[in-house]
Structure formats: structure tokens, C-alpha cells
Amino acid sequence: MLLGALSCTNDYVQTFEYQYNPDLNTTRQFKASSDASAFLNAYDAYCGCYARQKAAQGPVPTSFSLVLAKNNEVISEGVVDSTSLETIFIRHFSISRAEYRAKEEERIRQQRILRAQADSIARIAWGDVLFGMSKKEVNASSQFRGMKKVQSFNDNWRYVAPASTNASIVKAFNLYAAPKLYAEFNGTDYDELIEIELESQYKTASRFYALIHDCREIASFLRKTYGEPKLLNLGLESYDVKSGDLVDVARWDNWPKSIWIYIYETHDFDYKYVINIKNSHYPTTRNTDQEAEKEKKAKDAELLQQQMF
């Protein structure tokens, strides 16, 4: 007996057997999940086997036996030929094979469109700025034209948007804490945009409400594009934020893009919020200088340890 299998995706099992020669009892069996796709997969395998065997002038299947089992209950069995398959398919799935295939093709087409749209949205960093852009490209954008380099951050090169951009953000969202927009670069020659941050000014505990107001306004805007966040916590008070902690306000995990809004204490009873936007596909290139520096530090640490002992 020749045995093959289609992947099982749940507890519903179908058994399909097609017989080459009743006298010799030679069969081939397939098992798959009990749904329309599984039925079609088995039927396609049957037809493919028939065509191959016929082309090779070998024994061809003379019948198609099937058992549809659901929750261990047999709901159909018997020996059928290809002309009976359409009737069985319609009886169990309330649709013809041609209609089902057309619907499946349309479903797959719609999935591809949605995936392309999601990929396009995931690439947007801020406005007309896209992840993966070079410093020159970002500097030519409407949001960062005239950007200036500031202190490096987390091994990234950091640039701040011009005052005009920051002022327009404050006006557009009616923000109280006057945040600044930053672009961070890494990859080869630190020339690939990997992260965007919107960082507020410091606010004392008595003005903590201004930070929550801004977070609420920006989260409301983001929900229109990215849907409901995975986490949303707009009921924070200053005493909920402990020194050294990054306290979540909102988080979207729409892979490969993630958006994280958090508040932290910068000094004694001074607070700020940060909106971090990144795409896990970037950087796409290696920062060889950074890797060389890390390797050098690791060797220096190993040498120091050897000298100590």
C-alpha cells in the first residue's frame, strides 16, 4: 500500500482512498482537516495521480473512496467516481467546487491587497518620512528639512526636526508639553532611518495632567490608523511613575511596526513622555564600525579579566 498525507490543522479528519485495482486491493490514502480546502486538496491529488498514472501507462485509480469524519462521527462514506464528487461537495459545503475556488481566489486576492496596504503603512515613520531612508532623504522631507544632529542615543545617531515642524505638531494636536520630533539612524555609516521619537518637555508633578492630555490626543489620532492599542492606560498619576521606570501609557504591536507611548521621571518630580515608533525590518544593513567597537570592548574586557586573575 502506498501512503501519503496532507497536513492536519485540527481534530477534524478526512480519509480519502482511491483504488487502483479492486482485485489487487491497491490503494493510496490521504488525511487532512475536515473542510472544503481539504476536500479539494485530496480531489486534486486524486486527479493528479490519475493523470500521472495514465501518462505512464500504469494502473489508474478506478474509484475514489472517501470518509468525512467530524468529532469521530462518520458523516459520509462510500465509493464514488469523479462525477459523484461534485454532488458530495455541494451536499457537505453548500457550494459548488467552481464557486468555492472563485471565492478562495478572491479571498487570497483581498488578503494580498490588505497585506500590501499594511506593509505600506508599516513603512511610514512620520508624515512623508519612511523607515530605511538615508539622512539625505530624510533631510529633504517636509518634516525634517533643516534637521540638526544632537547627542547620540542608544548607539544611534540622532537628529532633531526644525522648530517649525515641532510648532506645527503642537498646533495640530493641541499639545501642552511642546514635544520635539527626533529621527534616529543606524546601519552602514549610520545612514538608515530606524526610529522616530516624539519627546515632550519636562513637567513637574503639578503639571502631570499636561502629559496625560497630550498622550490622550495623540493616542486618539493613532487609533484611527492602527486600531485599538494592545495597552491603554490614561489614568496615570504622577505617583504611579517611580524613578527609573518607563511606565506604559499605550502600545501598538502591528508587526513589523510598533508604537510605544511611555512616561518616566527625569529628575526629582520632573516627568516627560516619549512616543517611540519603529519598524523591526530596519536597519537592513550592518553598522561595521559599531560592530568593530563592540568587538574591541569585548576583547579589552577579556584581557582585563585575564590580567586580574
Nearest-angstrom CA–CA distance, 173 and 273: 15
Write the pLDDT tens digit of every residue in 256-283: 899 999 999 987 889 999 999 999 888 8
Tell which of 47, 77, 94 closes a domain.
94
pLDDT digits (tens, 9 = 90+) for 37-52: 666 666 666 666 667 7
- Euclidean distance between CA atoms 191 and 138, whole angstroms: 10
Identify whether residues 45 and 189 lie together within a single domain: no
Instruction: Give the lowest-confidence range in 67-76, 109-118, 162-171.
Output: 67-76
Strands 73-80 and 129-130 come out as unpaired
Looking at the structure, do residues 53 and 174 belong to the same domain, yes or no?
Answer: no
**Which is nearest to 272 in space by CA: 189, 178, 202?**
202
Identity at 177, one-letter amino acid code: A
Q: Which of 173, 161, 247 is nearest to 210 (CA)?
A: 173
User: Are residues 80 and 218 located together in one domain of the fold?
Assistant: no
Residue ending a domain, among 51, 79, 94, is 94
Same domain, 82 and 167: no
Distance between CA 119 and CA 121 in Å, rounded?
A: 5
Q: Are 197 and 182 in contact (CB under 8 A)?
A: yes
Average pLDDT value over all residues in the chain: 77
Least confident of 16-30, 88-102, 221-235: 16-30
Same domain, 277 and 140: yes
Q: How do residues 107-145 score in pLDDT, each as one tens digit?
A: 888 888 888 877 788 899 999 999 999 999 999 999 999
Per-residue cell: 204? 513637574
Return the minimum-mean-pLDDT range out of 41-55, 138-152, 234-248.
41-55
Q: Is residue 225 part of a domain?
A: yes
Tell whether 8 and 156 lie within a shared domain: no
Shared-domain flag, residues 175 and 284: yes
- Please give the residue range of the domain that contains residue 67: 2-94
Residue 12 belongs to a domain with what CATH number?
A: 3.30.2260
Judgement on whether residues 90 and 158 belong to the same structural domain of the protein: no
Q: Which are the contacts of 165, defined by CB distance < 8 A and separation ≥ 6?
A: 143, 144, 181
Q: Is the residue at 102 inside a domain? A: no
One domain for residues 147 and 197: yes
Model pLDDT, residue 250: 96
Is residue 83 located within the same domain as residue 24?
yes
Overall number of domains in the chain? 2
Distance in angstroms (rounded) separating the CA atoms of residues 287 and 282: 12
Q: What is the mean pLDDT of residues 192-208?
A: 95
255 in a domain, yes or no?
yes
- Percentage of the chain exceeding pLDDT 70: 64
The single-letter DSSP state of residue 11 is S
